[in-house]
Structures are given as C-alpha cells and as structure tokens.
Structure 1
Amino acid sequence: MSGPGRSGGSARSQQRRRQRIAEHVVRRGTVPVGELAEAMGVSVMTVHRDLEALAARGVLRRFRGGVSALPTSVFESNLDYRLGVHVAEKEAVARAAAELVEPGMSVMLDDSTSVLALAALVRERTPLTVLTNARRVLEVFAGCEEVRLVALGGEYSRTHDSFLGVPCVEAVEAMSVDLVLVSTSAMNAHMTFHQEQDVVLVKRAMLASGARTALLMDRSKVARTALHRLCPVADFDHVVVDDGVAGGLVAELREHTEVRVAEVSG
C-alpha cells in the first residue's frame, strides 16, 4: 500500500499536481517519469495516469520512460492548461473588470479564461446582450432569461473551445456593441501580443466593434511579448491588472490608458 502523499489524492489536489507537472516539464524540456514521481511526491503509477491525462489534452508529449514539452505556443494556447493557472489573479481581475458592465449594455466577450471568469460574475447584471465566440461563455449565459445571447460562429477550435477563422471575423464585423472585454497572451508597456494569428484577427475585429474596450491581464502575461502584435495599449479604454504587476509598469501603462489594479485576496 502506498504511504501518505503517494496516492493520487482528491480531484483538487490532482488538478494542482498536474499543473505542477506541466510547468515542471516546460521548464526542463524533457523529464523522466521517475524524476516527476520524486518531485511530486507520488507513485510512478500516479504520474503515468497524470501524464496520460495531460497528453490526451494536448498539453504534453509522452515517450517511453518520460515526457517532453510541446512548443510553448501550443502549450500556452491549450484551454485546459490556461484554466488551471493563476486562478486567483484572474478572478481578481475579473471582479474589477465586472464593474465596467452595467444592466442594459451590449457586451462582447472573447474566449480567454479571464473573460470566462468575468462571465460568471455579470450573469445577474441583467438585462444584457452578450455576444461571444467562446462555447463555455455561451454555457454560462444559456439559462439566463434576461440575457439576449448571440453566438459568434466560425470554425471550431478544440484547443480554445471556441470559434475562430474567417466566418467568425465576418460575424464579429457585422456587430456593434457598447463594451468589448478581451484578454491576450502577452503585453508590455506599449503593445499587446498573441502567439496565434487566427486569434489575433478575431480579437482585432472584436475591438473594432466596441464603443469601449477593456483588456484583462494577470501578472503572468505582462512585461513579455509573443509572435504577433495585437494592438497598442493606447487602443484600449481600460486595462485591468492584478496587484502583482510591478508599480513601474502600471505607471507606464497609465501614460497610455486608464488602469485598474485588482487586489488578489489571500
């Protein structure tokens, strides 16, 4: 029988461990199963089950005796990965950004996990018209009688669990809303970025459709870049970050736009 700490544990601890495994592999590149078992304090059998689940979700690549990281762009785009990282920061940012949403508004929400966190917070700020390309955001509002819900269709992306491509861009371009709320994978004091061109095109179309725009960014996404430029920070009416973002960067951002700093509880 395995000793304490060697079993798979609860669902919550399992999720945290799998996140730690993914981050460990990304840092190291290639890791033997035995090393992961030792680092996580669980049995080799438990690690094999974790790796099987992570590989099935497209987060990591398995090989005999170990595991390797997929390219960073693939890894960071995976929705299952994004849902499990920096949760407290995203929830804090979502709470602050939710204050921008008022009853009677039309709002467009992208497929980011930060905006997904916001969706659950504004369910009761009805009536609302909500437009989104994210399947999970549609699920959040599907049962709300006072929400007019518009699905922005396109080509379904399993990686993002959302709709992208030219049909989605065309659907977005036909709309005009009061407020657009998005996140993206990277930003510095002057520019925002994303690692995938298809996603950039949809986000740009969304931003062009809004009378006002807001960017939700947790600390892990700032002071860095990605392959494709999205738009300048100055193009946003509001930027919402958490209190883990360096004060100097916040001051620089405030030279370009209105910035709200969300306090992370705990």
Structure 2
Amino acid sequence: MTYLEWLKYASQTLSESESPKRDAEILLSFVTHKTRTFLMAFSETSLSDDELTRLNAYLARRQAGEPIAYITGEKEFWSLKFNVSDCTLIPRPDTEKLVELGLEYLPKIPCEVLDLGTGTGAIAIAMATERRDCLFTAVEKNRDALILAQQNATQIGVNNVYFLQGDWYKPLKTRKFSMITSNPPYIEPTDIHLSQGDVRYEPRTALVSDDDGLADIKLIVKGATKHLNQYGWLLIEHGWKQGSAVQMIFKQHGFQLVETFTDYSGNDRVTLGRWFKP
C-alpha cells in the first residue's frame, strides 16, 4: 500500500473525526518520520509491512476516540514540540492566547513569573523561550506531570524555568511575583462535553472544578493577592461562558484594569487584572 492509498483509507475510516485527513497525515508522518511535504511529493512510496502494522494499530486507537497527541506522545504549541501523556491536558491553540497576553503585559525589565498547574509546562516554557531574561517558576501537583514538564524544558532548551511540586501556592511560602498565569480546571462536573471527544481521555482532575467550574479560579485569585508584587498581573484561562463571573471574582479581591479577552475562535478565554493594594 502506498502513502496515498493509506491516507485515503485512513481518512475514510476516521470519517467521524473532526479532522480525518489531518489525523491521517499526522499518523503517517509519525510512523514514517517524513514531513507532510515529503508525503505529498512522494505519495506513491510504498509502506513497509512494519509501517503498515503500526499505522493500522494507531488508526484503530484513533477510531476508538483516543486523542492523536496521546497516540504520538507529542503536541505542537507555540511552534514548539511538547511531549504529552495521559497524566496531563493536551496543550491547545486557545491557550496560546494566554501566552500572547502574558508576554504583552510582562514588564520590559527582568522579573519573576509564576505558572500554576503547569501540566506539560507549555505556558511557562513558551514564555521562557521569548523572555530568557526572566525567571519562571512552574508549580504542578501531579508528580508524573511535573517530571514530564521538566523533560520538556530540557528538550526545548530553556534553563530559566524552575519546577516545584505542590498544590497551587503551598510550596511558595512568602515568595512574590510580577505576574501569575494559570490554566486551571474550570469545567463543571456535570458538563456533557466531558463524555465527548478528546477530553474523555484527559485527566478529570485537570478539567473539572466544583462551584460551577469556578472553585479553583477563586482559590487562585484569592491567593494571588498574597503572591503578587504591587501592580503585578494575574492572567487566568477559563471557559467561554465564564468571562463575567471571573471578572467579578477579580474585582471582589481588589484587582484593577480587569478585562476579558477572546481566543482565536472569538470566545471569551482569558481574564486578567492588575493587583493594587492601597
């Protein structure tokens, strides 16, 4: 079977996927170690028996609903390649908006940044590649996820991110930062989307939060008042219907210049505010 023939077969097999052709191309590229351009230019190349066996095994997993990123063990974010596993959320394009805003609001001088619930380390590492003059601290409760994030930092080549294991602010004692970022759990426990698509395979502890999905956000905003420098910024990713509620939480704790920004699909996604203590 040639590259082209397998792509057609795989695309038909994955017809219920949101992106069957793209899924098939990613799997073929992963197994053959060839770029998409090569696959298209040499589409009549024949697959070996071993390649075909592996491809069909991966195809069956994808057909069953397993995310492509968990099958390949990697995901691109901010034009960087991150290792992923089922102990972490899969980095998503929507979260790049948080990185973009973080870099925009970060002081122009060297400073310290905190990323809470870092998962794969995507937010902290992406920002650290752009601001190597700053020191980033990434906190993660799950030990396996923390090890994965450390491996990603090494692989990507950043040495200005330090990792701590713990629950939100607990391992930080009295340390303060110029910026705090977080993509915390924010999905309601009863949300029907938890039984659909890729999120079925992702860790629920990284997805679900009580109190209409706002419990962890409330903890982070309250804690930020003790761990932000005067005029420091807090940036939190949240659900597309939570913008107004998150703004209210920020304002209740004394944050100023509170604003919600949309992601690249036009949905409310990131709320930020500046900490000011009179």
Larger of the two Rg values belongs to structure: 2
Tell me which interval the TM-score lies in, with the shorter structure as reference length.
Answer: 0.3 to 0.5
- Could you tell me the TM-score, scaled by structure 2's length? 0.45
TM-score calculated relative to the size of structure 1: 0.47
